[in-house]
Amino acid sequence: MSEPARTSSTRPLALVTGASRGIGAAVARALAPRYDLLLGGRDTDALAELAAELPGARPWPADLTDPAALATVTAGIDRLDVLVHCAGVGLLGTVAETDADTWRRQFDVNVVAVAELTRLLLPALRAARGDVVLINSGAGITARPGWASYAASKFALRAFADALRAEEAGNGVRVTSVHPGRVATEMQRGVVAQEGGEYDPDRYLRPESVAGAVLLAVTAPDDAVLTEVVLRPTGR
């Protein structure tokens, strides 16, 4: 049986996936002053290092694409105030270049894993009248050449968020999609390499800026929900 996620702390509880680096780590740091944290990811060393930095945080290692494993690690969570989906992959290629395995991998991580983890945690989110925040992308609004499978997964993620919001409004669960432009992360470095470009982090949003949007969403007044937040680099 999995260890219960709640402790004797009276602080609310947040689960952040993809917390080992990038946007996920920045979100964890932004939430840490207000929430106890479960730090989701597969890099156990990075999760342990971040947990040591943040009081009230502990690693929550999980393979999000393994439904049986997810059922096990979520079993002890009976109340959850915030769920932030930061984990994802960005595999580029034209329609002509992208094979079925790439389409499946992209959707498995970016959509199916998100849907399954959310489904398993819905009772805990309903108990807390909690917030679900999905880190989407500008590609979830506009599809560009060479981004077909990635953009399709992010369009699907946006549709999932819209349906979840409508279904769970009566249960007090708020759902927010965050659509950042390009963010200075290792994933972005890989994307730029796939494009054949030169990575310059100063051209992109900081992960902390995206984390600020997440904090804004989960601390909104009870009578409001930020359905979508769109962020773009200023180019300064």
At 106, give phi and psi (nearest 5°): -60, -45
Alpha helices in 75-169 (DSSP H): 100-107, 113-128, 148-168
Considering the candidates 35, 150, 199, 204, report the single residue annotated as catalytic: 150
Q: Which DSSP state fits 111?
A: I
150 a catalytic residue: yes
Q: Reduce the DSSP state of residue 29 to 3 states and report it.
A: helix
Cα(2)–Cα(154) distance, integer angstroms: 31
* Beta-sheet strand order (sheet of 57-61): 57-61, 36-41, 13-16, 82-85, 131-135, 174-180, 228-231
> Active-site residues: which are they?
150
